[in-house]
Amino acid sequence: MSHPLVSVLIPFKNTESFLPECIESIINQTYKHWEVLIVDDGSIDNSFKVVEQYAKKDERIKLLRNNGEGIIQALQLAFKYAKGTFITRMDSDDIMPNNKLEVLTKLLMEYGQKHVAVGQVKYFSKNGVGPGYKSYEKWLNNLVQTGSNYTEIYKECVIPSPCWMVYKSDLIACDAFNPDIYPEDYDLTFRFYKHGYKCIPCNQILHYWRDYSTRTSRTHIHYAYNHFTTLKTKHFIDIDYNVNKTLVVWGAGNKGKIAAKIFLKRGIPFEWICNNPNKIGKSIYGKPMQPFDKLKQIKNSQSIITVANKKAQKEIRQYFNELGLKPVKDYVFFC
């Protein structure tokens, strides 16, 4: 049995207290044919020294300094030096179960190229995991278990950034890490989707995701909702927008307005509807706001839903079902 080299790409910045657990979880993997390309993204604590000690003891760990700034440039540098047939990512504050690389490698070898090996995730925190993260974890793991990740790709990032593995050639084919687009993990997920890479079902927890108040995804502006909505809208236009259908935007909150601005800037015509009686009949950006039942008058529609209220979402789904409309083909939820 062959043992392809797996390159693990890890950007880090000021995570000295978490790095030992992270690195040791890789060293303790049952699958031993790996290399770590770990890049210091401008740490001002002792993170570099912590990693340096591990690199001196294990030649598979290659320590680099980011010449630029930010996760994307750190990943670009790591990828430049990666020699593996397979590529995966890891966050410097997280932990791998000891069979992670073995399971993902076996899945990729079984299914072949143009597939993404993914695993289930579990959040942990010394202060306890909040209901929002528990809900996301459950939702994500349900998708991973069936390999149906892309069915809800416009709702949230459906492939966790530190828990995937692909062929290096497939990463190159989808131009991974080259565009300076944040959030980079969500952008990469859309690239996998656009290139038709299928997600391999997995029923095992293969990543322990640490949550804490200063985690980058919680604090950095690159991971704010406006970046997510902009990313979703642009990829929707590029991948799933059907010019032969009438585009309908649902919701006039911040997310709906961000999407509407992009459509207007691109010269893409759309109808705009909402369920807020205070807004119906008024105009935003020169577009009249219309009630939900307007959809019955629109033949061959394609809707994006930016309504965040869960009760309203259920009502909208039921309404679409009554009209015989299908997910992705006829509508996508943006939240």
pLDDT of residue 214: 61
Tokens of 30: 């049952």
- The pTM assigned to this predicted structure is 0.92
What stretches in the chain show pLDDT beneath 50? 217-223
pLDDT in tens, 305-332: 999 888 989 999 998 999 899 988 999 9
Which CATH number applies to 225-333: 3.40.50.2020, 3.40.50.300, 3.30.465.10, 3.40.50.20?
3.40.50.20
In whole angstroms, what is the distance from residue 292 CA to residue 278 CA?
A: 14
For 252, counting Cβ atoms within 10 Å of its Cβ (0-12 exposed, 13-18 middle, 19+ buried), the class is buried
Query: Computed from CA positions of residues 67, 73, 78, 83, in that sequence, does the dihedral angle turn out positive or negative?
Result: negative
pLDDT of residue 219: 43
For CATH 3.40.50.20, the residue range(s) in the chain are 225-333
Is 240 in contact with 328 (CB distance < 8 Å)?
yes
pLDDT of residue 275: 85
Helix locations, 47-130, DSSP H: 47-57, 71-81, 100-111
What phi, psi does 123 have (nearest 5°)? -80, 145
Q: Which fold has domain 6-223?
A: Spore Coat Polysaccharide Biosynthesis Protein SpsA; Chain A (3.90.550)
pLDDT of residue 118: 98
What phi, psi does 124 have (nearest 5°)? -145, 150
pLDDT of residue 307: 92
pLDDT of residue 177: 83
For CATH 3.90.550.10, the residue range(s) in the chain are 6-223
